[in-house]
């Protein structure tokens, strides 16, 4: 059973790597070796720092025309995914709630309670 699971996981990883290699290769052939956000230029020595970003964040959406891809440097790619995650997890900014004024005193009457407690101990 463990071997079966390992085979499935291994196959899935190999398929993902092959898929990524294919769309990355295609994107690098179609698009210039320039980060679409910061305009940093890449050459063969630095090309490993240029990544392919899926505009719709769906890594399974790989049209042959490259319309869902843009080449981003690793920094801009990380920033894009961070912003996407924040947008997914946080609700839109709304008007802050009105500040509630505290109208009670949490420890009011504590002196009286302690005094009564002290009196009851003495009796």
The CATH number covering residue 19 comes to 3.40.1800
The model's pLDDT over 23-70, given as tens digits with 9 standing for 90+, comes to: 888 899 999 999 999 999 999 999 999 999 999 988 889 888 999 999
The Cα 41–Cα 36 span in angstroms is 10
Give the range of the structural domain holding residue 50, as residue numbers without chain letter: 2-94
32/45 Cα distance (integer angstroms): 15
Burial of 122 (0-12, 13-18, 19+ CB in 10 A): exposed
Distance CA 29, CA 49 (A): 16
Q: Does 29 map to a domain?
A: yes
Residue 102 lies in a domain: no
User: Per the domain annotation, does 108 fall within a domain?
Assistant: no
Is 88 within a domain?
yes
pLDDT in tens, 54-112: 999 888 898 889 999 999 999 999 999 888 777 766 555 555 566 677 677 777 787 88
Domain count, the chain: 1
Tokens of residue 95, six digits? 């008007």
Q: In degrees rounded to 5, what are phi and psi of residue 57?
A: 65, 15
> Which residues lie below 8 Å from residue 118, measured CB to CB, with a gap of 6+?
none
């Amino acid at each position: 059973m463990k071997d079966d699971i390992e085979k499935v996981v291994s196959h899935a990883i190999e398929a993902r790597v092959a898929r990524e290699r294919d769309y990355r290769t295609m994107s690098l052939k179609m698009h210039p070796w320039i980060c679409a956000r910061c305009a940093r230029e890449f050459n063969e020595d630095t090309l490993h720092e240029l990544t392919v970003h899926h505009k719709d964040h769906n890594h399974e959406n790989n049209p042959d025309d490259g319309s869902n891809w843009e080449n981003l440097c690793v920094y801009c790619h990380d920033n894009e995914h961070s912003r996407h995650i924040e947008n997914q997890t946080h609700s839109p900014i709304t008007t802050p709630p009105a500040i509630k004024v505290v109208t009670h005193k949490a420890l009011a009457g504590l002196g009286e309670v302690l005094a009564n407690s002290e009196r009851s101990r003495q009796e």
